[in-house]
Copies of this chain bind each other. A is one copy, B any other.
Amino acid sequence: MTALTTDFEQPTMDDYPTRKSTEPALLYRKDPVVWGTPADGPMDQSSLDSFDEKGYLQVESLVTPEEVEKYRAELDRLAGDEDLKRDERTVVERSSNEVRSIFEVHKISEVFADLVRDPRVVGRARQLLGSDVYIHQSRVNYKPGFGGGDFYWHSDFETWHAEDGMPRPRALSLSLALTDNYPYNGPLMIMPGSHKTYVSCVGETPEEHFRESLKKQEIGTPDQASLSILADKHGIDLLTGPAGGGLFFDCNCMHGSGGNISPYPRSNVFIVFNSVENTCVEPFAAPSPRPPFIGARDFTPVR
């Protein structure tokens, strides 16, 4: 009898509800942050502990200056590809029609396919997530100077859970800086420690929400009271550093970035690894999953 009841209730339970209520809420994370040990990869215990505590880890010189040059050249090549500009995987800036992001770069470009498989990259992802991993999303971002827009606060996991059907927060992102990040050119900001709190957002996801949300996020946006609580509790870290640095961060970090009026553009490669033990199901709060170039439905592990 117990087994039957469990079977019946299981599908309706959701530890990370969002976009279903008219009231926002702060919920405790119910999953670990770090799943592996020092024996599982290149990082020592103190690095793993720091990731667990803050929700992110900066690796200076994750790649060499020569590799940065190679990736930048590839970025330029992709941004100049007129066919690719018309591809649905390419996002252009509303005001200027400049390329802002290109999705699924690990499939579009052999250079970035190699990067994803690099032990310095996937090795850390496997170690943190304690399993084989696959690419949930990859993209390159171009953030222009002289007025590039901001990216409002959000948890990636909230979106991936609601719109892509990612069951639990057992995923992480790598942002590899291809330009120097200064305090004044709109670097990523993270509320360190915020990844242990899940902000349940209000509102309902409309059909084909991704078309708008890639340009400017509105639904799935944390409420101001929750953001104030998290910022007062955790503070805000600016993730600055030279090109070539890698920032690994947990999927539930509250993060965003300011605008950039400086003359210095920012570019990075962004790779999302998800555990093969956490593959996506039906969306938890959207009519249908986003297209696979935004949230993969192919769970083949990176080898």
A residues with a Cβ closer than 8 A to B are 146-147, 150, 152-153, 182-184, 186, 189, 224, 227-228, 231-232, 236, 238, 256-264
Contact = CB atoms under 8 A, between A and B. Distances in A.
A264 B152 CA distance: 14
Contacts of A182: 236
B184 A238 contact: yes
A259 B150 contact: yes
A190 to B, nearest CB: 10
Of residues A150, A224, A260, A264, which shows the largest number of chain B Cβ atoms within 10 Å of its Cβ? A150
A259 B236 CA distance: 15
Contact of A184 (B224, B236, B259, B261): B236
11 contacts: A146-B224, A146-B227, A183-B183, A184-B189, A184-B258, A224-B263, A227-B263, A231-B262, A231-B263, A232-B263, A257-B261
Given A150-B147, A184-B236, A236-B184, A228 B258 contact: no
A46 to B, nearest CB: 26
A259 B261 CA distance: 9
Contacts of A227: 146, 263
Contact of A259 (B146, B238, B259): B259
Nearest to A228: B263
Nearest to A223: B146
A197 B186 CA distance: 26
Given A146-B224, A184-B258, A256-B261, 19 more contacts: A146-B227, A147-B150, A147-B152, A150-B261, A152-B261, A153-B261, A182-B236, A184-B236, A189-B261, A189-B262, A224-B263, A228-B263, A231-B262, A231-B263, A232-B263, A258-B258, A258-B260, A258-B261, A259-B259
